[in-house]
Amino acid sequence: LSDLKEISPLPFIDLEAQQRRIRPLIDAALNRVLDHGHYIMGPEIEACEASLSQFCGAKHVLSCSNGTDALVLALMAQRVQPGDVVFVPTFTYVATAEAVVLAGGIPLFVDVLKDSYNMDPVSLKRGIQRAKALGLKPRGVIVVDLFGQPADYEALLAIAEADHLWVICDAAQSFGAQIQGKKVGTFGTLTTTSFFPAKPLGCYGDAGAVFTDDEGLYATLKSLRVHGQGTSKYDAVRIGMNGRMDTLQAAILLEKLKIFPEEIRARQEVSERYAIAFSGLPLDTPCLSPSATSVWAQYTVQLKENVREALSAFLAEKGIPTVVYYIKSLHQQKAYDTYPCAEENRCLPVSEALSKSVLSFPMHAYIPLETVDRIGALCHDFFKENRAAV
């Protein structure tokens, strides 16, 4: 470990390594946009939407301004009305619940499963009962594929269908993943994603997309994206928003999409190497469903709370960054403490425990596998040194 300087300080996500690889292609793509000058809805937008559709198999792709707006657009397309309840997992990024409030609905928080970090079907059922007991109107569910692995759609879609609820798949972290060979983007009636730079498929700014096979919803989404426009720019038929993706971001995304399958494979290799590097340690490595793949937006392990803080500090000293996603569940956040939970006592125990035990390690397609080995070796050193305490 004497040559640790080589990986110190290590970036948590290394966007530069990827940029070095594709810089000439990005430069050329950006120059093409500068040459034609169609900065809003230029030809790259349509080309990008077609490539995304070809990649994931969704019939229609609507590019948009970011992953949060993608959710708001999807909720508006489903005509969320004031007082409508939309079930969301509490262990997720804040944008999932925020979008519901922005669209006029009420988020109702549901617990997640310890192994997959994704929505717990049993807690969803309890949430539906809870909404009814409160006299609220259940309308839909936003299922999140946390850290890159798709949720248990078979179980969740069946529960939603039984109560006539629509499902929006929040695939901000999972675009590129699969269940039994079917790609994310095709599981629910509507799927949304984010192309925030740190996402597995990211651009160089904010951008997102909505995926659907439904002609009617697609037509509504197209209108919503441009201020609710009808037959022309100055014909407003519904309340919409300015939700367009920039042409420059579409140009970047088109180049990045070409190397994305290779990058997904590299992420898979990194995750496998982490599992080997961490074997024998008193921590839980990620569990994948046998029928699903992940795009490894995060590589997240679970540890005892006091051990997590000590290990994170120990690694930070050695130049290895780690991050806690998420330090608090949404039902525990000040902004959301008046919204209902699946449990009357507002206790969602799995999510609350996870926020005390999770720790995410550096993850991207360009981490040398030897670096992963070194991180593993440092963790082994830490647990040897602290054997008595853990």
Ligand X SMILES: Cc1ncc(COP(=O)(O)O)c(C=O)c1O
Q: Which residues bind ligand X (CB under 6 A)?
A: 66-68, 92-93, 95-96, 144, 170, 172-173, 194, 196, 206, 208
Decide if 73 contacts 221 (C-beta within 8 A): yes
In the complex, what is the shortest distance from the CB of residue 145 to ligand X, in angstroms, rounded to a whole number?
Answer: 8
In the complex, what is the shortest distance from the CB of residue 334 to ligand X, in angstroms, rounded to a whole number?
Answer: 20
Closer to ligand X by CB, 72 or 375: give it. 72
In the complex, what is the shortest distance from the CB of residue 199 to ligand X, in angstroms, rounded to a whole number?
Answer: 7
Decide if 126 contacts 343 (C-beta within 8 A): yes
In the complex, what is the shortest distance from the CB of residue 75 to ligand X, in angstroms, rounded to a whole number?
Answer: 12
Q: Which residue has the tokens 């804040």?
A: 94
* Phi-psi region at 176: left, alpha or beta (left = phi > 0; alpha = psi -120 to 50): left
Distances 288 to 138, 155, 284, 294, 314 between C-alpha atoms, Å = 30, 16, 12, 8, 28
Q: Which of 88, 32, 14 is nearest to 251 (CA)?
A: 32
Q: Which of 252, 311, 249, 247 is nearest to 278 (CA)?
A: 311
Q: Which residue has the tokens 């519904």?
A: 238
In the complex, what is the shortest distance from the CB of residue 171 to ligand X, in angstroms, rounded to a whole number?
Answer: 8
Closer to ligand X by CB, 96 or 247: give it. 96
State how far the Cα of 37 lies from the Cα of 31, in Å rounded to an integer. 10
Residue nearest to ligand X as judged by C-beta position: 67
Closer to ligand X by CB, 209 or 283: give it. 209
Instruction: Please give the single-letter amino acid code of residue 6.
Output: E
Closer to ligand X by CB, 116 or 371: give it. 116
In the complex, what is the shortest distance from the CB of residue 73 to ligand X, in angstroms, rounded to a whole number?
Answer: 12
In the complex, what is the shortest distance from the CB of residue 206 to ligand X, in angstroms, rounded to a whole number?
Answer: 6
In the complex, what is the shortest distance from the CB of residue 12 to ligand X, in angstroms, rounded to a whole number?
Answer: 14
State how far the Cα of 272 lies from the Cα of 208, in Å rounded to an integer. 29
State how far the Cα of 8 lies from the Cα of 316, in Å rounded to an integer. 10
Decide if 227 contacts 242 (C-beta within 8 A): yes
Instruction: Please give the single-letter amino acid code of residue 308.
Output: R
Closer to ligand X by CB, 42 or 89: give it. 89
Closer to ligand X by CB, 73 or 378: give it. 73
- Determine the distance from the C-alpha atom of residue 292 to the mean position of all C-alpha atoms in its chain, rounded to a whole number: 16
Closer to ligand X by CB, 66 or 220: give it. 66
Closer to ligand X by CB, 65 or 223: give it. 65
Burial class (CB in 10 A: 0-12, 13-18, 19+), 81: exposed
